[in-house]
Structure 1
Amino acid sequence: MPVNTTSAAAPRPLVFAGFPASSWAFALRVWLAMLLALYVGFWLELESPSSAALTVAVLALPTRGQGMEKAGYRLLATVIGVIASIAIAGLFSQTGGLLLVVLGIWVGLCTYVAGLLDGNRAYAAALCCITVALIAVEQIDTPLQVFPTGVARGAAIGIGVLAVALVNEVLAAPSYHPVLASRIEVLHRRVTDLARDAERGETPSAAVGAGLLHDIAAVRPEIASLTTESSIGTARTAAARSALVDLVSALSLGRMLAALPAASALAPEAAGLVAISRSWLRAEIGRNNAQVRGSLDALREGTSPYRAWRAPLYRSRRIAAETGARAAISFTLIAIVFVLTGWPTTELCLSLVAVIIGLGSTSPSPRNFTMVAVMATPIACVLAGILKYLVFNGVSEFQLLAIGLAPVVIGLALLITLPSPMLSSIGRLVLVFTLVVLAPTNPQSYDPEVFLVTSLFVCLSSVLVFAAQQLLPPLSGDRRVRLLLGEARRELSRADGGRARHLAPEEAAFRDAARIEQILTANGPSAIDDRMAGTAMRCFDQAAALRRCRAELDRVGQGPLAVAAQAAREALTRRNSGVILAAAEALHQSAARSDLSASAAIAALIAASVAFAPSQSPADSSQGRRS
């Protein structure tokens, strides 16, 4: 009987109206969760049931773990924001203009903290600013209402979180760890291909290496959501983190291997040392690849990895401080404009200004985020007006509210699922601002004057933030790059390795990869600049080689090889290729006389000597070459 050798094609996903079934299922979950949150809010007669619906819109994420992680940070930030609102209103409510200055300082402080964090932790820091704006600012003339308003907001957010959790559980929202495992597996294949090219003597360009480090480090904020996904989420988080750290380590080792010169171009003594280094690097790359595969298996099975690496985030306090100062000044300037104009009921506009500034601080480019907000707010106002005066048109029945909201909520939720960051951001912001303007209540208000004033202030808030950013521009991408590269050079010049001295070499390399990720995203999703990538990768290669050397020298620094190891450490402080090479030869001879093995330390020293070679270092090259 003949065997059919034709491989079965992978089943194509069901597509309806241009969107896959998974996107429709996500949109349906968002709509149902929003209706559940509104229904419970109406039933409990909350002061602001629309806050529960807004929580659902904010937590609209495609997988269970992502939504629950963000929900946890949203609850925590709300508690902190309510406490801060009570303290600020209690201490400064009667101080006039000083209260606005204090609110501006709070906005700047939250923005500063958000700049030191990533993922949903940065969102939580921004939400502390937003919560104070929505409570203290809106009640700026009635400070005694700050506490009940904060309690009402907390209750509404809790209802929204429970609605999202219940709907995701009942409708079996997908888990995120299979998606994350697939992404890490793709990255592992790319790193393996780079190492294979290094074996053949091919040197990857700096742009390729920097882009791969960017893609690896960009996964870091997403692995935290695995903790809230299931009871074994903590083990999966540790496994994913270890896999990412080992990927960066394998990439670093592959670049060291590719940088080694050909044996035919060297003197016999140096050729022997390079051969030792090449052999050790191959073995280390193989060990790292095996560890990545083990971590991937642990991620899928929900077991602990072989070793729980830390994946530290690089934090630039200088950039965070400058961003926070600009945010504080922008908010204060806009507040002064409102004071000078004397417009009544501007609390909503000022609170939304803080919302846009806070959310923009979590974006790589605050100015681009503000431009998206400028586009989203008028669209949201138009949609809210259509719903209020054409679709609902005076009705208050919840069933009609549910039917009327369906096209808008489902359509915008589908837009959120698009791969385009711009369209996805517009979809989320339009959904949020539509609910802000519509403000569903029971019974529903149809006062056209209130609607027009609300729409005006919602649009005006984004325009004022955009104008403030023209007057006081956010930190430019080029300046961010200069600051990050300057910090990398200063750390490299320190003999103790700077702030990364308490980290293992693998963990410190991941921290450097996170810095490169920030460098490449500083100017938005544009093409990687070859010169910038070359400078960043040269610092990365040199720092990784130095840390490897120190770690291996510490292992052989006792006993007969102590003198040679100390001489090698002193050679490393000089950052001179020839001096480091001479120290490696001296260590090799000392090990031979003592009949001891120091291959790992010798190999690391050879890699460091190549990394610190003058302009011939391949880390500086923007184009690949063949040996």
Structure 2
Amino acid sequence: MKRQHLIQQTSDPRGGWPPVLRATAAAVRDWATGDGLVWLHLFKTVTAALLALGIAMLLDLQQPRTAMTTVFVLMQPFSGMVLAKSFYRIIGTAVGAIAALVLGAVFVQQPELYLLGLTCWVGACTAAAVRYRHFRWYGFVLAGYTAALIGIPAVTEPNSLFLAALTRAAEVAVGIVCSSAVSALIMPQRSALALQRTLRNRYLDFTAFAAQVLSGKVERGVFEGRFADLVDEIVGFEATRTFAAFEDPGMRSRSGRLARLNSEFMDACARLHALHQLLKRLRASGASPVVDATLPYFEALSALLIRQNAQTADASHAVRAAVELRIFQSMLPRSVRQTRRPLEASAPDLLADFDTSAELLYRFVEELIRYTETYASLEHRKPEKERQTVRYVSKTNGVVVGLTFLRTVVVMAIVGCFWIETDWPSGGLAVIGAALACALTSTAPNASKLTLQMAVGAVFATMVGYLFTCYVYPNIDGFPLLCATLAPVLAFGAFVAMRPGISGYGVGFSVFFCLLAGPDNVVIYQPDLLINNGMAIVAAMLVAALAFAVIFPAHMPWLIGKIKGSLRSQVVLACKGELRGLNQYFQSSTHDLMAQLRVLLTKPSREHRDALRWMLMTVEVGHAVIDLRNEAAHAAYAEGLHPRWSTCLEQMNGAIAALFEQPTPRRLERVLTSMRETIGTVQAVLETVHADRERRHDLQRMLGCLHFIRTALLDKDAPFNAR
């Protein structure tokens, strides 16, 4: 007994602690994983900024404040995010410096043409940033406004352009090195660990959600909202996977496996959605015999997922879960055949619904097994090399890209023309501010609101900068005292920048305090210049905010319609695209487009529901069309068994593509007519090859796909039927 008690105490060292100490330890642990991380990020940000300032001063660079500004733009909670942004910032800075030099060489002593070329360059880079998002966005943005930062001050002094480019690159490099070193060496927060937690939580959440859907306990509105959240998770996972590869060699070696895992997760989500939609339609149509016949299988799978979800989702559990799912899958065919026989005798007209339900269940279980097995394989120390590369494809509507270019050019042209016509001494800084506003808000859901917040932050930065210039800098001596006075101000800006909803104030304050009032090696007492520069920055921000709100508002109905048109065109891609790699391209680009709509339509509204239903219909029909085309390619022997085999399939695919290009009742009727003919053709070939079991199964799977597409198009809740 004594030994057993000793073992128990050793296994739980806190078992003998007083309740007060246990409660204190729990509170400290909660603080360390919550607010403690915020304070750690603030400490690392301020440390990196002051370190960059000191090194730039030690190297006698022209503007050490630029190195400090770079830190505030770069610092992120996870070290992988900083390394990823640093990588793209280096590339963007180099390209921007080269662009500034080329424009300066082409338009020597021609400020109007130089400004025109620079405006077009910044607009093109900002538009490319919208087209290529995630951390590539940052590289394109930097290539744009770095050219403005280097080139604008040298418009009137072209001889200093080359030296300005080299100096700017050196200052930015110091900021990059300091932010990366501090983030990676001082209590690093690994994004790889966060990614592992995300994977585990996503696996548990999805299996629990699937169990609820299969048991019929999820209402339509709840399902649509949860599926929309899955879209955000899929798109956000790609960004996390990208920067996790920068910091962890293990994650870098597993990057291909993670990409495949995300692709398989998209497939499993699509199959789950198809099952949910079919069950909803069967219940609505009164096909109770089919529902009663298939319900035991759905309930059995739901119970299996609930039992698995109650356990810890580690690698060993995932392996066991995959084995149990394989056993369930192996038992399905025989059980389904036994259930089908009495239904065939009593209600032969419902066999199509039953066969389609069974086929969708097969496919969902298969996709879930693949997802589970890939998730379990991530724990292998030496992952096998991927046989096939899986790529996540980002897709942006061309009109959105063009609109981004146009609004950037308009804002910079307005500010630039005012500068040239008035010869305002701080007009160049106003142009730089306009470029920064257009670049940093290019992917914001509400660019006007974010720009106004940055403008307010710039106002406070000017006021605090005036106090530092007039009263702080003249009364301190030495770098340690300089750090002591700057630290509270820099920490305040970084703290506000971390607050959701008001981050624009913090970004504007931190960035523009460094640019306007950051200390140089030789501090020049010019408060009037500081105020003038602050007014220029704020004026440029206000012009940009006004343009974003009046000329180019985010919630333009025609723009939302264009993106929804791009979303519908994904079905055209499914009907006519090359089959090799088509499923991955279709899934990733469809989810990416929907994520863009989710950014624009943040508030629940009729437009938001309509866009979400178009996305669900696109995934539903597009996925089924790809399945149908793959089955048809596998059943190529049917070409010689029916003269209109290829013609029917091509006409039906063309009719579906035309319907989603421009949904009209007439085109819908044409699709349904073409589908009836195609179903008749497949049934005729099925009767011919009925004795061949493999070929019979091929054609039965095709009939399942056709029947599912037909029921989807006839659904009264489909967006084109609700018009």
- The reply to whether TM is greater than 0.5 is yes
Contact 2:96 2:142 in 1 (8 A): yes
Find the counterpart in structure 1 of residue 306 from structure 2: none
Q: In 2, distance between residues paired with 1:219 and 1:149?
A: 39
Find the counterpart in structure 1 of residue 623 from structure 2: 544
1:147 matched to 2:162: yes
Give the CA deviation at 1:597: 4.3
Contact 1:104 1:328 in 2 (8 A): yes
Find the counterpart in structure 2 of residue 124 from structure 1: 139
Task: Write out per-residue CA displacement over residues 140-193 of structure 1, whole angstroms, 9 at most, x where no aligned residue.
Answer: 101121111111111111111111222223213111022123234333344334
Of residues 177-186 and 248-257 in structure 1, the stretch that sits farther from structure 2 once superposed is 177-186
Q: Which has the larger radius of gyration?
A: 2
What letter corresponds to residue 67 of structure 1 in structure 2?
V
Could you tell me the TM-score, scaled by structure 1's length? 0.89
1:46 matched to 2:61: yes
Contact 2:109 2:155 in 1 (8 A): no
What letter corresponds to residue 440 of structure 2 in structure 1?
L
Task: Write out per-residue CA displacement over residues 495-541 of structure 1, whole angstroms, 9 at most, x where no aligned residue.
Answer: 7445x765331441122111111112123465682233222321221
1:616 matched to 2:631: no
1:242 matched to 2:260: yes
Contact 1:19 1:414 in 2 (8 A): no
Find the counterpart in structure 1 of residue 363 from structure 2: 284
What letter corresponds to residue 166 of structure 2 in structure 1?
V
Contact 1:553 1:565 in 2 (8 A): no
Q: In 1, distance between residues paired with 2:435 and 2:543?
A: 11
1:362 matched to 2:440: no
Of residues 176-185 and 471-480 in structure 1, the stretch that sits farther from structure 2 once superposed is 471-480
Q: In 2, distance between residues paired with 1:224 and 1:318?
A: 27
1:513 aligned to which of 586, 591, 597: 591
1:449 aligned to which of 503, 524, 528: 528
Give the CA deviation at 1:494: 6.2
Change (3 A) 1:599 1:139: farther
Across the two proteins, how many residue pairs are aligned to each other?
Answer: 619
Give the CA deviation at 1:619: 5.3
Contact 1:509 1:540 in 2 (8 A): yes
Find the counterpart in structure 1 of residue 661 from structure 2: none
Change (3 A) 1:524 1:87: farther
What letter corresponds to residue 311 of structure 1 in structure 2?
Y
Contact 1:412 1:430 in 2 (8 A): yes
Contact 1:250 1:289 in 2 (8 A): yes
Of residues 269-278 and 213-222 in structure 1, the stretch that sits farther from structure 2 once superposed is 269-278
Find the counterpart in structure 1 of residue 215 from structure 2: 200
1:436 matched to 2:515: yes
Contact 2:109 2:156 in 1 (8 A): no
Q: In 1, distance between residues paired with 2:637 and 2:268?
A: 28
Q: In 1, distance between residues paired with 2:721 and 2:198?
A: 27
1:375 matched to 2:456: yes
1:256 aligned to which of 274, 291, 298: 274
Change (3 A) 1:600 1:211: farther
Contact 1:85 1:136 in 2 (8 A): yes
Q: In 2, distance between residues paired with 1:48 and 1:501?
A: 55
Give the CA deviation at 1:14: 4.8
Task: Write out per-residue CA displacement over residues 419-454 of structure 1, whole angstroms, 9 at most, x where no aligned residue.
Answer: x2x223432332111111112211333322222222
Q: In 1, distance between residues paired with 2:198 and 2:688?
A: 46
Could you tell me the TM-score, scaled by structure 2's length? 0.78
Contact 2:516 2:533 in 1 (8 A): yes
Alignment of 1:305-320 (within 5 A): 308-320=389-401
Q: Which runs of 5+ in 2 are unaligned?
A: 16-21, 291-343, 657-670
Change (3 A) 1:477 1:467: closer
Find the counterpart in structure 2 of residue 469 from structure 1: 548
Change (3 A) 1:14 1:194: closer
Find the counterpart in structure 1 of residue 103 from structure 2: 88
2:489 aligned to which of 393, 399, 408: 408
SS of structure 2 residue aligned to 1:529: helix
Say which structure, 1 or 2, has more relative contact order (CA 8 Å, 6+ apart): 1
2:704 aligned to which of 591, 606, 622: 606
Q: Which runs of 5+ in 1 are unaligned?
A: none
1:171 aligned to which of 173, 183, 186: 186
Of residues 447-456 and 193-202 in structure 1, the stretch that sits farther from structure 2 once superposed is 193-202
2:201 aligned to which of 180, 183, 186: 186
